[in-house]
Amino acid sequence: MNEKILVVDDEKPIVDILRYNLSKEGYNVLAAYDGDEAINIALKEDPDLILLDIMLPKQDGFSVCKKLREKITSPIIMLTARGEEVDKVLGLELGADDYITKPFSMRELMARVKANLRRIALSEPGGEEEIIRLGDLELDLKSYVVRKKGKPLDLTFREYELIKYLSTQAGQVFTREKLLEEVWGYEYYGDIRTVDVTVRRLREKVEDDPANPTYIITKRGVGYYFRKQ
């Protein structure tokens, strides 16, 4: 509880608005205004998550990210200027866990902060839970493979993301809105029934009898869930 978050940006107004909003959500906020300071504070305080701008005085975000990655495992979210795909790829290669393009909404930022913290919280106890087993199914989170009775299923990206989201929280019912937000992304505003069709396609591959699903269950009037156990 009460996670420490380090915000690194040389523009004070940005740091201020981030501090304001993160504090409001109950996080403990640290700030650094250049690359050197970021590294000092990060090593000393060991924050649970780092928000790291790329454009920084003294040493840039890439350099900071690379150096920090050697010492700490906390998630690093890069803040990048609009459009530059290069940044994104480079950042992720250097060990960043996520990136957000400016300008971003507070809602989007909060969602990503929470998602990254949640991911850590889930994987922490019991070390690295790499493979999820549910009935005949086996989800290998690392290699993006789902096996049924040992045989690998050929799932597409969306199908994989959906079954991963549902199965890691088996038993819990999610509305279509929630699934669109979590699986499709914070900025996706497509048709809500897209979820139905993706569920249909997933069932086609996962279920013995897609018309009588035993894994991905419909909760009428609410949404879908993955059957526990």
Q: Which positions lie near a copy of itself, rule CB under 8 A?
A: 11, 13-14, 16-17, 20-21, 24-25, 73, 75, 86-87, 89-99, 102-108, 110-112, 114-116, 118-119, 123, 142-144, 156-158, 160, 171-173, 177-178, 180-181, 189-191, 219-222, 225
In the complex with DNA, the residue whose CB is nearer, 28 or 194, is 194
List contacts with DNA (CB under 7 A).
154, 156-159, 176, 184, 188, 190-191, 193-194, 196-201, 203, 210-211, 218-223
Residue 20, token pair as written in the block: 């304001």
| In the complex, least distance from residue 177 CB atom to a copy of itself, rounded to whole angstroms | 6
In the complex with DNA, the residue whose CB is nearer, 169 or 194, is 194
Give dist(CA 144, CA 163) in Å, integer: 11
| In the complex, least distance from residue 14 CB atom to a copy of itself, rounded to whole angstroms | 7
In the complex with a copy of itself, the residue whose CB is nearer, 172 or 214, is 172
Q: Give yes or no for a contact between 20 and 7, defined as CB atoms under 8 angstroms apart.
A: no
In the complex with a copy of itself, the residue whose CB is nearer, 36 or 120, is 120
| In the complex, least distance from residue 90 CB atom to a copy of itself, rounded to whole angstroms | 5
Cα 34 to its chain centre, rounded Å, is 26
Residue 127, token pair as written in the block: 């070390």
Q: Give yes or no for a contact between 64 and 39, defined as CB atoms under 8 angstroms apart.
A: yes
In the complex with DNA, the residue whose CB is nearer, 58 or 227, is 227
Identify what 118 binds: a copy of itself, DNA, none; CB under 5 to 8 Å per kind.
a copy of itself
Identify what 210 binds: a copy of itself, DNA, none; CB under 5 to 8 Å per kind.
DNA
| In the complex, least distance from residue 187 CB atom to a copy of itself, rounded to whole angstroms | 9
In the complex with DNA, the residue whose CB is nearer, 59 or 194, is 194
Q: What angle do CA 120, 48, 51 make, to 5 degrees?
A: 105
| In the complex, least distance from residue 192 CB atom to DNA, rounded to whole angstroms | 8
Identify what 138 binds: a copy of itself, DNA, none; CB under 5 to 8 Å per kind.
none
| In the complex, least distance from residue 125 CB atom to DNA, rounded to whole angstroms | 26
